[in-house]
Amino acid sequence: MKGRGCWETASVRSFCSSRCLNTFKKDDSGDDDDETASPADKSELHNTIKNLSLKLDDLSTCNDLIAKHGAALQRSLNELDGLRIPSESSEKLKAVNERATLFRITSNAMINACRDFLELAETHSRKWQRALQYEQEQRVHLEETIEQLAKQHNSLERAFRSGASGRAANPTKSFSEGSFLTSKGEDSEEDEETEYFDAMEDATSFITVIAEAKEDRKAEGGTTGPVDWTSSDNVLDGASLVPQEPPKVKRRDRIPDKPNYSLNLWSIMKNCIGRELSRIPMPVNFNEPLSMLQRLTEDLEYHHLLDKAVHCTSSVEQMCLVAAFSVSSYSTTVHRIAKPFNPMLGETFELDRLDEMGLRSLCEQVSHHPPAAAHYVFSKNGWSLWQEITISSKFRGKYLSIMPLGAIHLEFQASGNHYVWRKSTSTVHNIIVGKLWIDQTGDIEIVNHKTKDRCQLKFLPYSYFSKEVARKVTGVVSDEQGKAQYVLSGSWDEQMECSKIVQSSPSSPSSDGKQKTVYQTLPAKLLWKKYPLPENAENMYYFSELALTLNEHEEGVAPTDSRLRPDQRLMEKGHWDEANTEKQRLEEKQRVWRRRRLEACSRGCGSEDEKEADMYMPLWFEKRLDPLTGEMACVYKGGYWEAKEKQEWHMCPNIF
């Protein structure tokens, strides 16, 4: 009996000192000191609950041991009471003491297990409270969003029922407000999950009326001066805007199909509300296999509009083509809801297409925070374009706003006409629920700083309640005296037209007291029409023909070129897991490089962003004061194409 009691004593002591009672005495990674509530990680919560369950099992085991040894102690005491012979008392007393010792050890184990349980519960109670509060707030936010969507759905149904009879009673109009493309609106079909928004009040400030055929020549001769509006030789004739020559170099016309990887966008984006998107690490699942530098280069897809504008003798006619070019840069975004790769600092992208497109283009990432890219294009047809674009993006819960900041310059060498404009705001809707869709909104003013001609473009926000065309764009081209010369109309995803104004007059005031200008115009002429997408484009990220060739491997490019970026190349091939790993490696390498630059900076620098801006010097661009905008901007300083010809890239940083 003595041997059995000693073995039980040793086993209980071993149990009490084992890791089962002490394995979860951990802090919560400093979350108690953080006043900002953050959602608890599901795996961590699962492990915590599992450990708490083990603790309860330990308590149950201790309880069984206490009951067992308590019963044995009671039996020993009963036996002690029945003793009559004094000689037996010594052995029985020893057994009673042994049972009492076991009971004491087991009781201590019970107490220690309870203490561990209490400490663990207290340690994580505040974290759970914050997590619970956060989830409650997110639930309330989601409920409000669903309620708002339900109200919008009901209002859409009522508007559709009431508007159907009105449209049937008045199917046509004698004139259009700011557009000659109203028939397109009848054919447009939108996904039932699309979220709609009310159109801006007074969306168009003018009304156009096509002049009678008999009045065309008389009105044109009296008001338009030397411009000959004929389809045979007018530079704005849309039939001659599409390039006729086939490409001289065989380019690829497809890329590997996009893998069907499912990923919950909201599960990642819900923690990014109100933050700058460029500072949030994102998996490649949200990307397309092109960098932001390549997306900027895509603006040149309809470069032939500028080639045509070179031959314009009238500055207002040239302005029409420039305006069409500025709108055409948005045509590729209608289905492109994926995010381009954020370029590494010092990353470049060249497009050397002198033989095929008559131009050379160079982009360089000149800043990382905030992200900024400099772009320069030279065309052998007589024009050059340059810009520095800083992308500012904010996630607002239901939508994502992308705001390009910076001026775009376009100069025609022969005439000296210098145009400046800025990009509109892009918005990605239905982040929470529904089908993602993108819209372009805002006003764009294009100014010819030589002749003082102006073009006012308005991108109308999409609305189900509006009778206008989806993704509509309207505009007016005015000369240096402010007199309207042309009306522009179309949509940023399809085409743009222009109409020559022959007469203008104010309309009668409407019921709300507002007055619009009535423009009497000649029949519209096509300025630009979007190219059809390649076959199977829906499985190739909706890339255009030009976009399919941008990441095609080319020999002789700089070692910093986007084509050589490994994570982007892996994603294009469909190896997304490897691409995510490579993306993390590149980002960590960039962070190390940035820390070294900051450490080398002088103490006189201010914030970290200012230090980075002061320390990093772009390789092919330099900061200069823009005399037209009064802003500092990066402009091309030369040397890249000479370095490419000699294949001297020793000055390029090792960023990949």
Instruction: For residue range 353-368, list pLDDT tens digits in order.
Output: 999 999 999 999 999 8
pLDDT at residue 201 in the model: 40
Question: How far apart, in Å, are the Cα atoms of 224 and each of 159, 178, 230, 314?
Answer: 44, 21, 13, 11
If you average pLDDT over residues 318-334, what whole number do you get? Answer: 95
User: Does the structure show a pLDDT above 50 at 225?
Assistant: no
Strands (E) across 380-463 are located at 383-395, 399-405, 407-412, 418-422, 425-429, 437-448, 454-459
Location of structure tokens 């929470």: 432
pLDDT at residue 558 in the model: 97
Percent of the chain whose predicted confidence (pLDDT) is above 90: 43
pLDDT at residue 171 in the model: 40
CB of 294 closer than 8 Å to CB of 550: yes
pLDDT at residue 263 in the model: 59
Question: How far apart, in Å, are the Cα atoms of 24 and each of 18, 29, 38, 97, 222?
Answer: 12, 13, 22, 34, 91
Query: Do strands 287-291 and 407-412 pair parallel, antiparallel, or not at all (unpaired)?
Result: unpaired
If you average pLDDT over residues 336-348, what whole number do you get? Answer: 92
Location of structure tokens 């823009």: 626
User: Does the structure show a pLDDT above 60 at 528?
Assistant: yes
Model confidence at 463, pLDDT cuts 50, 70, 90, reads confident
C-alpha 55 chain-centroid distance: 46
Model confidence at 231, pLDDT cuts 50, 70, 90, reads very low
Tokens matching residue 122: 């207290």
> What is this structure's pTM?
0.67
User: Does the structure show a pLDDT above 80 at 232?
Assistant: no
If you average pLDDT over residues 625-645, what whole number do you get? Answer: 94
Model confidence at 228, pLDDT cuts 50, 70, 90, reads very low
Q: For residue 370, how many C-alpha atoms fall within 13 Å in the half-sphere facing its CB?
A: 16
Model confidence at 214, pLDDT cuts 50, 70, 90, reads very low
Q: For residue 41, how many C-alpha atoms fall within 13 Å in the half-sphere facing its CB?
A: 7
Burial class (CB in 10 A: 0-12, 13-18, 19+), 101: middle
User: Does the structure show a pLDDT above 80 at 559?
Assistant: yes
Q: For residue 259, how many C-alpha atoms fall within 13 Å in the half-sphere facing its CB?
A: 17
Range picked from 187-191, 462-466, 559-563 for highest mean pLDDT: 559-563
Instruction: Give the single-character DSSP code of 551.
Output: T
At position 38, the amino acid (one-letter code) is S
Q: Between residues 379 and 50, which one has the greater pLDDT?
A: 379
pLDDT at residue 603 in the model: 53
The candidate with the shortest Cα–Cα distance to 298, out of 541, 538, 526, 497, is: 541
The candidate with the shortest Cα–Cα distance to 428, out of 470, 472, 394, is: 394
* Mean pLDDT across the chain: 77
Q: Between residues 245 and 444, which one has the greater pLDDT?
A: 444
pLDDT at residue 93 in the model: 73
User: Does the structure show a pLDDT above 60 at 174?
Assistant: no
Q: Please report, in angstroms and rounded to a whole number, the separation of the first and last CA atoms in the chain.
A: 74
User: Does the structure show a pLDDT above 80 at 162?
Assistant: no
pLDDT at residue 598 in the model: 79
Alpha-carbon span 642 to 635, nearest angstrom: 17
The candidate with the shortest Cα–Cα distance to 365, out of 385, 389, 332, is: 389
If you average pLDDT over residues 116-139, what whole number do you get? Answer: 77
Tokens matching residue 173: 């109009």
**What pLDDT digit, counting tens, does each position of 234-284 carry?**
556 654 455 555 556 889 999 999 988 765 555 555 555 555 555 566 788
pLDDT at residue 198 in the model: 38
**What pLDDT digit, counting tens, does each position of 370-394 carry?**
899 999 999 999 999 999 999 888 7
At position 285, the amino acid (one-letter code) is N
